Amino acid sequence: MARYIVIRLLLMIPTLIAVLLLNFLIVQAAPGGPVEQMLSRIEGVSAGATLGGNSDGIVASGEAQRGTRGIDQAYVEQLEQQFGFDQPLWQRFMLMVGNYARFDFGDSFFRGGSVTELIVERLPVSISLGLWSTLLVYLISLPLGIFKAVRHGSRFDIWSSALVVVGYAVPGFLFALLLIVVFAGGSYLDWFPLRGLVSPDFDALSPLGKVGDYFWHITLPVLALSIGSFATLTFLTKNSFLDEIHKQYVLTARAKGASERRQLYGHVFRNAMLIVIAGLPSALIGIFFTGALLIEVLFSLDGLGLLGYEAVLQRDYPVIFGTLFLFTLIGLVLKLISDLTYVAIDPRIDFERRES
């Protein structure tokens, strides 16, 4: 097994490089790069300084007058050198790969700090949303899927399936708007806060008060983020258990007088959970990073999803590629952990022998 782990870890290197290369080429081809973004800002400030007669802005009055007539070419070249665009494309990519190998993501073009600091600052928000959403989904979907499999074809199975499908059809951001209107002071109740992960006076609260305040703020975002994830896991669990329940070894256990609980959790559970565990990495990635963007915007939460979205709009290349590298690396690691969990649950699975 150690050999398999080492091979998988080594394969992560070309995978990361390929993902970075593909996105590097796509982003470089997009119009409106960092230099153009900076020039647009300078021209806007210059025009404002000229109209207002204020010489204390970001640019001097002489630069303001130049901004209305066009930016000096020497200054454009200075910006290109500052952002590294005076180097060939391949050289910039190789430099980025070398820095990323040391987990040095560089500095943000427009935020005045290192990318690592920005990621660390925003990471707790994304972890909070992803962790509690995943926990909520699994705590509800697994028991519900098992109960639906045991009561297959009953009224409960039919009505619960209808409710789960309706929940899956409702977009997360639309459900978030509904929660805001109903429970966050929109038009009806004012039970939950609308902005932020904690209250402004969070530091002054008692330890128990801090815990309550945190969960008070996180309740609506977690519910909105989880609504679309119940259906997939619930039906996956149900179908997996149904498939195992009708196999010969379960019929044999039933013929020997084993109780329903013993059949379900002593024989079926381990085999049925394999396919559920297989979908855990993609579920974690989807909930942690890709599904939270609109939720973070609606509830004013500064997470990694919002950070990456703002970086794309601003063409902040270090932030774009830094978050992309992090997302890809976490996805690959979670996939490896999923395979190792396969083996822990069912020792009959041997990835190393299969690959050889």
**The pLDDT of residue 48:** 44
User: For residue 106, what is the DSSP state?
Assistant: -
pLDDT digits (tens, 9 = 90+) for 283-312: 666 666 555 777 887 887 888 877 878 888
Q: DSSP assignment of 193-214, as one string?
A: --S-SS-TTGGGS-HHHHHHHH
| Cα-to-chain-centroid distance, residue 266 | 35
Sign of CA dihedral 74, 78, 83, 87: positive
Three-state SS at 184: strand
pLDDT on residue 243: 81
Q: pTM of the entire structure?
A: 0.71
Q: Residue 96 pLDDT more than 70?
A: yes
Closest CA to 146 of 248, 138, 82, 51: 138
**Amino acid letter, residue 82:** Q
User: Tokens 């997009």 appear where?
Assistant: 30
The most confident of 38-52, 306-320, 340-354, by mean pLDDT: 306-320
* CATH of 116-355 among 1.10.3720.10, 3.40.190.10, 2.40.50.140, 3.40.50.2300: 1.10.3720.10
Cβ atoms of residues 197 and 217 within 8 Å:
yes
Q: Which one, of 212, 161, 184, lies nearest residue 300 by Cα? A: 184
Q: Where are the domains of the chain?
A: 32-102, 116-355
Q: What are phi and psi of 114, to 5 degrees?
A: -75, 150
pLDDT band at 244 (very low <50, low <70, confident <90, very high): confident
**316, 108 Cβ separation under 8 angstroms:** yes
